[in-house]
Each structure stands twice: as C-alpha cells, then as structure tokens.
Chain A
Amino acid sequence: MKKALLLVTLLFATAELYAQKDSLQLDENNEYVYYKVVSKPELSADSVYARAWKFAAALSKDAKPKKGKADKAFNVAGKFMNYTGTSLVRKESGEVSYTLNFQAADGRYKYKFGDFVYTPYKRDRYGNMVAVQGVHIDLKNLTSKYSQKEADDIYNQVATGCITTELRLKQAIDNNPPVMKRPEVKKVHTGNW
C-alpha cells in the first residue's frame, strides 16, 4: 500500500513538471484556455473571493482586477514572459498577455486563464529585447506564423505560466503563502575548544 502511495506521489510530481502543453484546453469558442474548478468546502465564498482579489491585486505592478458581471467574480489582466535558448544565450523571445477570470461560490471556486495573445520580441539598437510593435498573434493562430516546434515551445511556456500562477493563487486562497525562510546563522563559542 505504502509503495503504491509512493508511486502515485512520484507520478503526480513528474506529471506536474511535464504536463505543460497538454494542460491547455480548447473551450466552446475554440479558444485556448486553462480552466479549473476547485472544491473548498471549509471556506465561505466571501473569504475565497477576498483572498483571491488580494492575490490578483498583487499579481504585478500594473494589475488592476475588475469586478465581473457574475456575483463574486473578477477579471485581471497579466502577462507571461517567453524565452528562447538555454544558459547564456537564454533571452526574452516574447510575451503572452492573458486574462484571468475568477469566480467564487460557497464550497468551491473556478478560474480560467484565457484571451492569450502572443507578442514577439526583437533585439533593438541598444542590445535590449523589446516587443515588436503592432504584432499580436492569437495563441490559436501561432502555427500560421511559426513552425510547429516554435509554437509548441510557446504553448509549453504559457501552460507553465498558468500552472505557476495557479499554484500561487491556491496558496493565497489557502492562506498559506510560501515563506522563504532565511537560514539562521549558527552561533559558536570560539573560547570553548
């Protein structure tokens, strides 16, 4: 039994790392989304909404959540950076803007990352990677502009961005933000030897 549990845990951890592109779904409008419904029976809708709103407002410097039409719902815009290359030649290759739709209800909540739009970057005259003006590509149309391999790389990074943000959202709602503990400096009495 223990062995089985261990195996499942291992598979889960591995799957989380590699599930990326497959984590994106196509919704009823044939648009890419990352959508989840989460059960949270121990919290009221008000608590979940308040915690999620606080998270959204701190998502980035420019984040401005707006109340949605439905009860206890909001939308907030954000963006994920995309990179190419590895090690020293790793650099920004583009950004993907998105909208996060959130709604809370008693005992559960749902969220959806959608409206994904890709803007490629290019190197400017000063050696910085900057957005190409006026080029905005809907995520579903990536393959009309890029090779399948390049598009897959962008899809993977978008999915990774959703998974990472989702994790932070869940931690915020669980009221359990990650705490980066500074390792304590050990004390030593140099006279005792």
Chain B
Amino acid sequence: MKKRLLLLSFSILAVFVAKAQDTTKTDPALTISGSVDTYYKYDFSKHNNIPTSFASDQNSVSIGMVDLALKKKVGKASFVGELSFGPRGQAQSIPNAAGVYDEKTNSFHIQNLYVSYDVTDKLNLTGGYMATFVGYEVISPVGNFNYSTSYLFTNGPFQNPGFKATYAFSSKVSLMAGIFNDSWNLYTSVNKVNTFGAQLMISPVTGWTAYLNVLTGKLSGTEFDLTTSYQITDIFKLGLNAADFKPAAVVGTGGFTGVALYPQVGVSKDVTLGLRGEYFKTKSGSYATLGPPPGSSVFAATLTANVKARPLTLIPEFRLDNNKNDTDGFTTKSGGLTKTASQFVLAAVYAF
C-alpha cells in the first residue's frame, strides 16, 4: 500500500514539476519552415514557348526545390537563413558564387540570409541578403497562388542585399527605406552600395493592404511598383501589381511597364480558383526582357486552381499568352511564327 501511495505522490510531483518547468522562461527554439515542390508541364506547341521563371521543363515530371528556412529570435534580435536546393532554388532564381546563373557550377543556395533587430516596438533594422520587397509574386511556391510566374515577376528583382530600416507609424501605415547593393540578386555588389529602396505600406481598411515601392540606382535602374491585395469578402480576394522599369543608362534604354490583376474565389473549404490577367509592354530601346522584344507587348491569362489537402496543395493551371506580333518569339509545333502560346501545368507543393 505504501508503495502505491509513494507512486501516486511521485506522479503528482511529476505533474507539478512539469508545470513549473513550463513557466520558466527559456530562449525560443530555432524554427524550421519550408516547402518542396514538383510539377509536370505540357506546352501545346510541344516545346517551350512561354518564358515563365519556373515550371520550365517541357513534357517532364520535374522538381522545383527543397526550401528550408531557419529562424531564431531571442529578445529583440533575430536571424533568418533560407536555403534552397533544386532548379527553382538555384540557377532559376539565385546566382552562384561567381554571380552567374549556371546550374553546373556551385551555388551558395541562399534565398534569405539576414539579421534583424527591433530597436523599439515601431522601429526595426535589418541587414543582409533579403528577398526583394518589390512585386506581388515571390520565389517560394508557397507564397504564390499561380505556379507559373508573371512577366513582371520574371523581369523584376528577386533579392536585394542591403540594409533597411522600417518604421511602423501604426498597424495601418509603415515606411521602409534602405540602401542596397548596386545590382539586384547578386550576393556581392559589383562595385558600390548605392541603390536606394523605399516602401510605403498603407492599409486603408481591414483586409486591404497596398505597398508603394521604389528601387533606384545608377546600375540597377529604376523600378516603381504598386502591389496591393484586398480580401473583399470571406471568399473573394482581388490582387493587383503594376510596375514600370527604366534601366540605368550604362545598361541600356527602354525598359518595361505592366499590370497584372489577380481575382481569386474560394469555391469550397479546400478549393480556390484564381485568374491572373497580365498586360506586359516592353519599351522601345536596347534593353531586352524575358518576354517580347522591345517595342512590343503580351497579354497573358492564367487560370489556376489551388486544391488543398492540409499541408499539400495541388495546382492545376492553364495558361494562354498572346503576343502583339507573330514575330515576338512564339512558334508553332512545326516551328512557324505565331502570336499565341499555351501550356498546362500540374504542380504539387508541400509546405511545412
């Protein structure tokens, strides 16, 4: 009997000891999040036509990337280190150590590597290699609704290494200003740290957020960008991205301008349908984009579904691009010039 009582006493003690430990303050743990993605693409011309950043392989079950983000915050100081492995996370989105987009040579595999400090509740300082603040779409497939990417994304910056300060005037207004390396995306500057970037965030009403962005430098050129999204009802969301880019004089003349609209509607608990309609215009000049040649334009319509099964999202997608001229780059099955190109993608993205 005494043994049983002793056992019971130990059990109770154990419960209270466990509770006492829970109330002890310890540093938050290192957290890991990320994703893996894979896809199948079929271009109806039987060869690649549409210059989307990812989903590049024709009639192939191909891989995107394994994305691993490490984060730790202790007190006011934090870091994020995001590593990516695979075509999407290497030569398709980040350069190698030599600053070249080449799958065959080594890569640093870094998407984000920065440290951050909350000076006050309202002021944050961040420095390092960071995902760009410009644009609607991102490299991580978890952050995008569509699997293929817009022309505005493909031709805009992916990363901006630098130093930035963000001040939150309230939960509805904040301003970021920073100084970044002279060239987008590269791990090191070409020569100088002289690109200025700023972002004004405003949230006029609940559910509506707008970001006004500018990035300007003597080598990187100047991009003005508006990225906004509004969750209008429980099931309907509307996003918009508009941008204008002018290259630096030493790089070329011309540039691009464009607008993309992203209406999305939830049709059930697990299924959301979305359309991306994009108009992308290249300015006359010497600057070449990943898209139509200078002085032309393209209209792209992408119909996408997101079918969720908890952490897994299946993304079937149909895309139709229509160039202004039949000499703008698309070709038919037989190699003839054409204005239009279409493709089907089925992707699977698992987030953790």
Interface string of B49-82 (1 = CB under 8 A from A): 0000000000000000000010100000000101
- CB-CB under 8 A from B142, the residues of chain A are 122-123
Contact across chains for A9 and B12 when beta carbons are under 8 A apart: yes
Across the interface, name the chain B residue whose C-beta is closest to A136: B206
Complex CA gap A122/B349 in Å reads 14
Question: Which of A14, A134, A144 has most B Cβ within 10 Å?
Answer: A134
Contact across chains for A134 and B269 when beta carbons are under 8 A apart: no
Interface string of A78-96 (1 = CB under 8 A from B): 0000000101111100000
Q: How far is the CB of B121 from chain A (nearest CB, A)?
A: 7
Check if B23 is an interface residue, CB within 8 A of chain A.
yes
Complex CA gap A89/B70 in Å reads 9
A123-B142, A133-B207 known; A128 vs B71 contact (CB < 8 Å)? yes
Check if A70 is an interface residue, CB within 8 A of chain B.
no
Check if B24 is an interface residue, CB within 8 A of chain A.
yes
Complex CA gap A52/B80 in Å reads 39
Check if A174 is an interface residue, CB within 8 A of chain B.
no
Give the contacts of A1-15 with B (CB-CB under 8 A). Answer: 2-3, 6-7, 9-10, 13-14
Interface string of B107-132 (1 = CB under 8 A from A): 00000101000000100000000111
Check if A145 is an interface residue, CB within 8 A of chain B.
yes
Contact across chains for B33 and A6 when beta carbons are under 8 A apart: no
Check if A30 is an interface residue, CB within 8 A of chain B.
no
- CB-CB under 8 A from A123, the residues of chain B are 33, 69, 140, 142-143, 351
Which residue of the partner chain, among B29, B203, B234, contacts A133 with CB atoms under 8 Å?
B203
Give the contacts of A88-129 with B (CB-CB under 8 A). Answer: 88-91, 122-129
Contact across chains for B230 and A127 when beta carbons are under 8 A apart: no
Check if B30 is an interface residue, CB within 8 A of chain A.
yes
Complex CA gap A107/B352 in Å reads 50
Contact across chains for B29 and A126 when beta carbons are under 8 A apart: no
A123-B140, A123-B143, A128-B71 known; A91 vs B31 contact (CB < 8 Å)? yes
Could you tell me which B residues sit within 8 Å of A by CB distance?
4-5, 8-9, 11-12, 15-16, 23-25, 29-33, 69, 71, 80, 82, 112, 114, 121, 130-133, 138-140, 142-143, 203, 206-209, 229-231, 234, 237, 269, 310, 351-352
A-B CB proximity, top 7 nearest: A134-B207, A134-B231, A127-B80, A127-B69, A125-B131, A125-B138, A13-B15
Could you tell me which A residues sit within 8 Å of B by CB distance?
2-3, 6-7, 9-10, 13-14, 17, 61, 85, 87-91, 122-129, 132-136, 144-147, 150, 178, 180
